[in-house]
Structure 1
Amino acid sequence: MHTPLTEPPAEAGAESLEHRRAAITRLGHELRALVDATVRTAASPDTLDRVADGVRQVTGQLTGRRRARTEIPEVDRFPGGPRMYSPVVGAGSPLAPPVRITPTDDGVIGHCTLGIAHEGPPGYGHGGMSAMLLDELMGHACTVAGTPGMTVSLQLRYHRPIPLETPLRLLGRVTGTDNRKVHVTGTITTQEDPATHLVTADGVFIAPDPERVRALFPGLQPET
């Protein structure tokens, strides 16, 4: 019988947050390995039942207060900072590839590798994953350009299927603004062949007014 772990006393300060982020990152890595093994395995039903029991016991160890739907995790910096549980960039998410995004001279570049858990057609990424990757990357491009916004339109063109277990290269760039609207383009290629577009996108993002921001994100602390 497993005894649930108890939460340690809350610590304050940047050092404790970094310690927590490191632990979240480690757990996220192991969860992604578990997900990958789960979607690949040809284990017997008995083995699967035994593993399910073990996973249930592990889940029971994650005790303590659970954050509310609108609550921003203390390990996140929103907007514009790390999002530890994002299904795209979150190091702590079992769903994320995760994408590593860095600014460039005219936008942002992202790198990731999709696994079997992201499969659509056998051997290739699900088309919805492409949309999610580009939506995230293009949003980052808006933020880097100093015009953060939310997606109002995203049009994708699928040129070729995205191979799984292949390093990918994603680009996002702001091409223009119109009052609160921000126009952005995005592409997905492989790292090996960046000249061949697999998916391209055109998007429109809009910067919500402060009142709308407060309504959408009640957990966001006001600037001081």
Structure 2
Amino acid sequence: MARPGSERPCDDLPVTTTDGSPDQGTSFDADLMAASVDLAVELRRLIELSAITTADAAAVRSAAELARAAAERLEGPRRPLSQLPRLDDPAARRRTFNPVSGVANGMAPPLRFHVADGVVSAEATLGAAYEGPPTFLHGGMSALFMDQVLGDTAAANGLWGMTAHLELDYRRPVPLGRRLAFRGWLEQTSGRKSVIAGSIALAEAPDQPLVEARGIFVMPRPEKLASYFGSVTDSSGVHRPPGNAGDAAAVEPG
């Protein structure tokens, strides 16, 4: 079983688009991507260890000093929140710092989605960093993951929308340290509205849901899109507001 936080889902750089072809964007920096993914892997490892270590105070304090020194290495000019990271490209569905599927986000497991016949799926092993009740996944994390799964399912079916309603039924506690299967599928679509359903289950028993989810996603009207994202630019400062399925994380075929 893989150690939680140890997986490297981006070893097949460069990033692929949703049809599986290499992303040919001229701004893509493979070296920066590899470095950012490596940093995220070690951050996940550090976060997990901080939650499960039995080291004494001196060892923890020493680790804190090292983490502080590492953070200082990254201090300096920062992008505004309205400017996309250099590694992101919504048109290629690449969102590297997404908190669920972002390969360069130390908070993300990360989930890596695949699509077959319109059904989106992913697997991950979650550790103590995501704990709610002892040994089980925090219920709020289930909601976070399923919101992303359902949203990416909409994108995989050629739709796009923002979450208007999300409901979850918690059938059984979701265990930590076990391989989990996440799935999403389209139930219906009409006009600007789509209804997406999904589940979390043990990978060994994917048809026995621990959590069931159902969401309504609505494509905002043009005036709302302008209001929400009118200030968003790409890393070069060019206006690049979200407005299609490319706002979602990468979804791979097969």
Tell me the TM-score normalized by structure 2. 0.78
- Cα distance in structure 2, aligned partners of 1:113 and 1:210: 39
Spell out, residue by residue over 1:81-128, the C-alpha distance to the aligned partner (whole angstroms, 9 max, x if none): 122111100111111111010111022111111111000111110011
1:201 paired residue among 209, 213, 216: 213
- What runs of 5+ residues in structure 2 fail to find an aligned partner? 1-24, 234-238, 242-254
Match of residue 85 from structure 1? 97
Spell out, residue by residue over 1:39-63, the C-alpha distance to the aligned partner (whole angstroms, 9 max, x if none): 1112212222222122111110013
Match of residue 31 from structure 2? 19
Larger Cα Rg: Structure 1 or Structure 2?
1
2:61 pairs with 1:49: yes
- Cα distance in structure 1, aligned partners of 2:96 and 2:177: 23
1:222 CA displacement:
4.5
- Cα distance in structure 2, aligned partners of 1:208 and 1:80: 21
Change over 3 Å in CA distance of 1:21–1:214 after alignment to 2: farther
- What runs of 5+ residues in structure 1 fail to find an aligned partner? 1-12
Secondary structure of 1:60's counterpart equals: helix
> How many residue pairs get matched?
211
Q: Are the aligned partners of 2:232 and 2:240 in contact in 1 as well (CA < 8 Å)?
A: no
Structural mapping, 1:50-199, within 5 Å: 50-78=62-90, 81-199=93-211
Q: Which moved more, 1:71-80 or 1:113-122?
A: 71-80
Q: Are the aligned partners of 1:168 and 1:190 in contact in 2 as well (CA < 8 Å)?
A: yes
Q: Which moved more, 1:147-156 or 1:59-68?
A: 59-68
1:219 paired residue among 221, 227, 232: 232
- Cα distance in structure 2, aligned partners of 1:35 and 1:144: 31
Task: Please tell me the residue identity of whatever aligns with 2:232.
Answer: G
Task: Please tell me the residue identity of whatever aligns with 1:185.
Answer: A
Superposition CA RMSD, Å: 1.7
- Cα distance in structure 1, aligned partners of 2:160 and 2:109: 23
1:30 CA displacement:
0.6
- Cα distance in structure 2, aligned partners of 1:75 and 1:129: 25
Q: Greater relative contact order: 1 or 2 (C-alpha under 8 angstroms, separation 6 or more)?
A: 2
Match of residue 7 from structure 1? none
Change over 3 Å in CA distance of 1:214–1:19 after alignment to 2: farther
Secondary structure of 2:90's counterpart equals: coil
Secondary structure of 2:169's counterpart equals: strand
- Cα distance in structure 2, aligned partners of 1:79 and 1:181: 22
Tell me the TM-score normalized by structure 1. 0.88
Task: Please tell me the residue identity of whatever aligns with 1:120.
Answer: G
Change over 3 Å in CA distance of 1:172–1:122 after alignment to 2: same
Report the identity percentage.
35
1:215 CA displacement:
2.3
Q: Are the aligned partners of 2:118 and 2:156 in contact in 1 as well (CA < 8 Å)?
A: no
